Structure 1
């Protein structure tokens, strides 16, 4: 029997106090009222956002596209103002005065002779005529700021390692080796015999590695049309000396021979060389001394240690693209020369 002092009344039912802990465990059966929590969205302006809420919450509405969500967002918050990205690419330049890569009015020999002495037109400067800049000079004076930066940094590093006199001697050796390499190639290509039918020619020890490097490429070179020959574009007023014009694997190309101490397996490793080849081909196509047109190019990189060289072919489409780049570089050179002449005349 329980004492009346030890009883409690819960919901009209008398419960002994000693069993009050059982009541606490019966909370699932007796739902006690507690203050209702407010929704975090209760303060939102329902009228203003009603259309957005209905469109998102209603299962009857199909999934919205980014365009319609953007429209709704602009309706609530206003249009988005987009800042210009600093990484956006500049507008692609086009030459102010386009000039065709080919001479459309020239009488072209459809079949060039497969034999005969290759042309070799020497460069002659006419003292009575204004100076005509070379392709090499134009490219050197129109380098981009980035190219100039890396070139200067390389030069400073070489001078720090070799000293002023050592760097000068290094540059002279490179020039001599390049000249000897081109001379050896000239002897090979003008001999008339195929590479596989003759022994490697006697050449200075410093270029033997270069010749060995390009020996597998020389096997595919035939029908040589020009060697170390001058080309001039009278309309655009520039000159150049092509290393070679010949067929490579049956395709007539302007060929440029390069030497390198570092591997250059990709065309991008050759920097401005493709522009140079396109400039030579464009001049040749517009030079009356040559009765044919060339639309392809080839850049051959030879290595001193005899490592197999790389042959980078330039298709006709690629040549046209590099031709447009050359016209832009030529325009830059002309503008700089005009400004320089104007500054000089003012000083005088």
Structure 2
């Protein structure tokens, strides 16, 4: 039987190996105790409210920028695209809203949802409160692939930066699976192997930059590595709009397995869960979601770390409820963070990864303090 969930080891305790013969630390300790259940209509109402907050956030964020866009202008752009017979805006304003701001904000929502879901899944699979979407080394692989295209010109004509980043991310995940094939898929080995793979590709990225790049190229690559929504276009939105819902659906269908894995492999197996198969499936899902997100906008930190903890603190640890709320919360968080990155230092734009780090550190410390670990 799992230990008393009231016992709450800190993140460092979860990484420390247990004494010989001792039971592993309970994962219920990494999350607050379950809340009292809510009725289905109440849950549905809360979810609709959260979805409405996301829609309002997207609409409000589209209006924010160096050029103000009114609500009426926004309605006219949408009406024109829907063929409602409204008077169109001037072409320059219409292009600003539809071709630049709409894809940027929608991509921020999709990437934020993807990263939050990945963080939620990996924290359960690895039983590690510090797990985030970049735990598997995928981000480092994507960085190496992007730098190889920009600096060395490898596959520049066919792949482009996004294709190079996606290729590098998938290669790094393939290396992770090869290494784990020999050592197994238990939580500690996943964490340690992911760190090793990430450090390898980080070293390769640094080597390429130091050996081949000039100052301007290094500056451009660094800006990409920090994460930015500026390159967002509709084709990237379409790709993420296909991948993100599929990944969320697969993770949600594994909610029962995630609840079991959160208490350890033995508990999950006793519930009839195929631990190895489920872990492999969820690792593939999180790797694909993270690869597409990083290849599209670069590495944006802290979203997949703090959002799952904050949502788990508010609604409890059951993944059937946790995953949809984490997706909505991650989307809202990144939409407003990107808006802040656009107007806080206007006309100069700050990479959104810098803003998420500045906001993420104090928020994560607050979560740890509320849980009594700080």
Q: TM-score range by the shorter chain?
A: under 0.3
**Larger Cα-atom Rg:** 1
**TM-score of the aligned structures, taking structure 2 as reference length:** 0.25
**TM-score of the aligned structures, taking structure 1 as reference length:** 0.26
Write 1 or 2 for the structure with the bigger share of helix.
Answer: 2
Write 1 or 2 for the structure with the bigger share of strand.
Answer: 1
